[in-house]
Each structure stands twice: as C-alpha cells, then as structure tokens.
C-alpha cells in the first residue's frame, strides 16, 4: 500500500501564553517556594525549555496541607452538594472553553500527538468533571448509606503519561465527595496542572480546596507521608506504589493505588483482521505506549498468525511519527530521556534473549526523545519483554492454540489491569471475560475510557477503583 505524503498541518502554539516561571498554587494563590528551589520543564520533542517551575520542599508541603485543612474545615465540607456541584460544572465548562489551549500545552510538555490531546485527553477531562458534578448532590444514592461523609484532605500524586486527565481522575471525585486536595503532578509534566490552578481561580473555587505543588519524587514522598493527610491516591509505577503502601501502612490513611500493567490483547481466528489490527495499533502505539493499560502483549491464535502479522506490519508502515503539534502525527515523542533509556534497554534485552525485532522504516528527528514503533516476534513467556512493563511503543507477540491457553498466558503476569479480546463469538467473549484476571476487559475494542465505568487493577496493578459509582468509595468515609 503506498504511503501518502501529507503536507505539514501544525497546530499553532500561539494560543498558549507560558509564563517564564511558576510558583506553587497554595490557598488559591501562586506563591514562591520557601527555599527558593526550581527546575525546568522541557518539550520532549525539541528539548526546548518551556518554563521554570518551583520545587516544593517539606515546608511548602506543610503550607499546602494546612491550606487544604482550613478549606476543608471551614468551607468545603460545609457546603451542600448542590453548591459543590456548581463549582465542578463551572470547572468542566472552563476546561471545554480552553480546550484548544490545554491540548496544545499538554502536547508541548508531554510530547503526545495533538490529535490525542485534543480528541481524547481534554474531552475526557471535561467529562470527568461533568460526571462528578452530577454525583455531588446525589451521594446518598451511591450505595454508601444515607449521608456518606468525606474523608478530609487528600494527597494525590500523578504520573506524566496523561497529566491533565490523571489530575481530573483524582480531583473530580475528591471534590464531589466533599474533600479538599493537595496534588503533585509529575516532574516532567507540570504545566497543565498549573493551568488547571488558574482555572480554579477563574471558577472562583474557594481558596485551599485545590492546591497544586510541583516537584520531583521527594516532594511526592513528603506529601504522602505528611501526617495531615487523610487519604492518599497514587498513580504510577508499581515500585513507587509499594513504597507508598509501606509508608502508609502504620497510619490511618486510606490508600488507593493505580499501578503498572502488562495487558494481553487476544486475537482469535474468527476476528475481523483489519478491525483487530486497528485495535492492536491503538492498544500499544496510542500515546507512544505510555499507557498503564496498554495492550503490550499481543496473543494471536496460531492459525491466523501470519495473516495478522502481515496486516499489522502493513499498517505500521503508514504511521507518521514526528512533531506532536502536527495534526497528522500518529506517534509523538517519548516523554523523557530517562524513559527513552529504559525503552532502549528493555528492547536490547529482548534481542539478546532471542526475540526478533522489527520496526517500519521511519526517520527519527535529531533533537528530542524518539523511539520507532517496534514489534518483537518469537517472544516466549519467560522473556523480560513479555513480563516487564516497557511503557513505550514496543509490542511483544506470542501465539496460542486454544481459548484455555490464551487465558493461561494472559493471566501469567504479576499485573492485572486490562485485557482485550477480539472475536465474533459473543459466548467466547463472555467465557474469556469471566476468566481473565484484569480490572477492565475490552471486547473488539481497546483503550476506551469513560468516566462512568470504574477503572483499576488486580494483583500488582494496585487496588481501589477510579471512575463510576465505585470510584466514589475511595473518597468517602465508608
């Protein structure tokens, strides 16, 4: 199939006005850090410095937690649900109004294609606030008793793969249930969280209800171990999740963890091949594979292996990698030099262990952090690339003969966040779904998200649910 040439279609970045430096958002105001430390956030596509951001130290964490406590005691927990709902609706509407600006900012700071930030991330952010605005005055119908109470102050730490969306997953339910929050975005992607702080000001949210503190791992550690926090919510690596679980164990803090994954995307011989190939591509190359529920292990029924692989290779040859702000781009930049090094290392291990590596011909930009879409075949279950989360655009392909073997292989992982099943048989979908140990099972689709449906893992993928009625439990004293 010939590859079409596309004229460049860059989204203008003039809609974003970046400040040179940002303070911490505490008590409704941007304030400098106590010890004056700062770090730079860059565009992973060009390595250009975008802005300087304050590094919050323990004294700043303390100030933010006090501001959240004040707001909780004196304002937010006393407001009726109908009033809290109005603020959430207002935030959702402002997110929609600023949608283009937020999408450009997200793509600049994260490296993801504008097509994704514009069509997936930002609309879902607004949807999460709308959805939870609807719950704020109906909590007595959520199934947690006649008058469920909030927990207090939530300390929330989020990763860099969906910066504003993960913020929405954390802040919207917390506020709907009557809690106040201190949130720390990831070190490499703080800008949309800071833009969100401005949205809180614009929405006239009472000071201290939302506090945003920027910093690295140390700031996160200071936040989750702070004695003034009632609830900790974390999304990120399993390793850091375990550390946080240990740190919270001796305390009364309620904890939810959304950690790594190594999902199986399972293609049966009766699946429509072209549709399945789209699902495979969306499963692992969406957001450069920086997705905790990515379909990073492809399990193909042996009888259609050659056909599926040939169709997949043809499709990958049409993917366009490059400028995240170009509306034609399918695959953007890797978020950081550190993440690129990890993807490279695990890919080299894959080759060393005997798997065959393939990438479509594709030119990588000279500046910035890039990795081509990559497929490993000849992968066995013992290989590290079949067991460890690579968190990049790297697919490991395995085969199976029977549904029972597919279940066995899919569940043979320490993780259990998601899975995909491709078949025309409804009965087989139900048979598989009841046996797969995964929080989400997609049937004939992949990577579909909706605020109304709970998301979360089994085993080392964490505990607790986010989204839907189930997600409210994490922020209520039940």
Nearest to 330 by CA among 301, 288, 270, 369: 288
Give kind and range of the element (H or E) at residue 164. Answer: helix 163-176
Q: CB 303: neighbour CB atoms within 10 A?
A: 12
Instruction: Identify which of residues 97 and 348 has a Cβ nearer to ligand NDP in the complex.
Output: 348
Burial 435-454 (b: 16+ CB within 10 A, else e): bbbbbbbbbeebbebebeeb
Shortest spacing between CB 62 and ligand NDP, in angstroms: 16
**Whether the Cβ atoms of residue 437 and residue 459 lie closer than 8 Å to each other:** yes
Shortest spacing between CB 304 and ligand NDP, in angstroms: 30
Phi, psi of 264 (to 5 degrees): -95, 130
Distance of CA 207 to the CA centre of its chain: 27
Q: Is 73 a catalytic residue?
A: no
Q: Is 177 a catalytic residue?
A: no
Per the structure block, which two tokens stand in for 53?
């951001």
Instruction: Identify which of residues 219 and 423 has a Cβ nearer to ligand NDP in the complex.
Output: 219
Contact positions vs ligand NDP (CB under 6 A): 157-161, 184, 186-187, 216-217, 220-221, 224, 235-237, 240, 243-244, 259-260, 292, 339, 342, 389, 391
Per the structure block, which two tokens stand in for 380?
């066995």
Shortest spacing between CB 239 and ligand NDP, in angstroms: 7
Instruction: Identify which of residues 172 and 233 has a Cβ nearer to ligand NDP in the complex.
Output: 233
* DSSP-assigned beta bridge partners for residue 135: none
Residue 295 to residue 289: CA distance in whole angstroms:
8
Query: Which residues lie closer than 8 Å to 314 by C-beta, 6 or more apart?
Result: 1
Q: Tokens 């106590």 label which residue?
A: 34
Pairing of strands 440-443, 254-258: unpaired
Instruction: Identify which of residues 135 and 285 has a Cβ nearer to ligand NDP in the complex.
Output: 285
Q: How far is CA 192 from CA 125, 237, 276, 364, in A?
A: 11, 21, 34, 27
Shortest spacing between CB 439 and ligand NDP, in angstroms: 12
Instruction: Identify which of residues 33 and 148 has a Cβ nearer to ligand NDP in the complex.
Output: 33
Residue 271 to residue 289: CA distance in whole angstroms:
23
Shortest spacing between CB 348 and ligand NDP, in angstroms: 15
Instruction: Identify which of residues 190 and 206 has a Cβ nearer to ligand NDP in the complex.
Output: 190
Shortest spacing between CB 470 and ligand NDP, in angstroms: 19
Residue 178 to residue 79: CA distance in whole angstroms:
8
Radius of gyration of the chain (CA): 22
Shortest spacing between CB 184 and ligand NDP, in angstroms: 6
Instruction: Identify which of residues 243 and 317 has a Cβ nearer to ligand NDP in the complex.
Output: 243
Shortest spacing between CB 307 and ligand NDP, in angstroms: 32
**Whether the Cβ atoms of residue 383 and residue 353 lie closer than 8 Å to each other:** yes
Among 177, 200, 248, 292, which one carries the catalytic annotation?
292
Instruction: Identify which of residues 256 and 423 has a Cβ nearer to ligand NDP in the complex.
Output: 256
Among 11, 55, 116, 258, which one carries the catalytic annotation?
258
Residue 257 to residue 363: CA distance in whole angstroms:
38
Residue nearest to ligand NDP (CB): 220
Phi, psi of 471 (to 5 degrees): -65, -20
Residue 475 to residue 151: CA distance in whole angstroms:
6
Q: What amino acid positions are annotated as catalytic residues?
A: 258, 292
């Amino acid at each position: 199939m010939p590859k079409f040439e596309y004229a460049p279609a860059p989204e203008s970045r003039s809609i974003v006005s970046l400040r040179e430096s940002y303070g911490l958002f505490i008590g409704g105001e941007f304030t400098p850090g106590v010890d004056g430390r700062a770090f730079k956030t860059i565009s992973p596509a060009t390595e250009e410095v975008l802005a300087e951001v304050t590094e919050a130290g323990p004294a700043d964490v303390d100030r933010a937690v006090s501001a959240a406590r004040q707001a909780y005691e004196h304002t937010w927990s006393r407001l009726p649900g109908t009033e809290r709902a109005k603020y959430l609706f207002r935030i959702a509407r402002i997110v929609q109004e600023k949608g283009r600006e937020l999408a450009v900012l997200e793509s600049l700071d994260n490296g993801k294609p504008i097509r994704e930030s514009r069509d997936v991330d930002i609309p879902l952010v607004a949807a999460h606030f709308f959805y939870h605005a609807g719950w704020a005055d109906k909590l007595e119908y959520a199934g947690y008793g006649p008058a469920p109470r909030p927990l207090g102050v939530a300390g929330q730490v989020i990763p860099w793969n969906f910066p504003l969306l993960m913020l929405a997953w954390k802040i919207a339910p917390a506020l709907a249930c009557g809690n106040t929050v201190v949130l720390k975005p990831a070190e490499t992607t703080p800008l949309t969280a800071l833009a969100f702080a401005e949205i809180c000001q614009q929405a006239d949210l009472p000071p201290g209800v939302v506090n945003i503190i920027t910093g690295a791992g140390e700031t996160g550690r200071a936040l989750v171990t702070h004695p003034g926090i009632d609830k900790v919510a974390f999304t990120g690596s399993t390793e850091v999740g375990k550390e946080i679980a240990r740190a919270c164990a001796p305390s009364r803090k309620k904890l939810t963890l959304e950690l790594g994954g190594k999902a199986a995307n399972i293609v049966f011989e009766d699946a429509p091949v072209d549709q399945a190939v789209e699902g495979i591509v969306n499963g692992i190359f969406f957001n450069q594979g920086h997705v905790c529920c990515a379909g990073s292990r492809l399990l193909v029924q042996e009888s259609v292996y050659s056909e599926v692989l040939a169709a997949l290779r043809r499709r990958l040859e049409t993917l366009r990698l490059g400028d995240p702000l170009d509306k034609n781009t399918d695959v953007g930049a890797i978020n950081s030099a550190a993440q690129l090094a990890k993807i490279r290392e695990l890919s080299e291990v894959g080759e060393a262990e005997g798997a065959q590596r393939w990438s479509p011909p594709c030119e990588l930009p000279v500046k910035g952090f890039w990795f081509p879409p990559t497929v490993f075949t000849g992968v066995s279950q013992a290989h590290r690339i079949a067991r460890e989360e690579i968190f990049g655009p790297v697919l490991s392909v395995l085969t199976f003969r029977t549904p029972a073997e597919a279940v066995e292989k899919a569940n043979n992982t320490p993780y259990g966040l998601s899975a995909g099943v491709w078949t025309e048989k409804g009965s087989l979908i139900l048979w598989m779904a009841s046996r797969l140990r995964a929080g989400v099972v997609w049937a004939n689709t992949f990577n579909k998200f909706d605020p109304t449906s709970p998301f979360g893992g089994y085993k080392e993928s964490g505990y607790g649910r986010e989204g839907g009625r189930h997600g409210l439990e994490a922020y209520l004293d039940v």
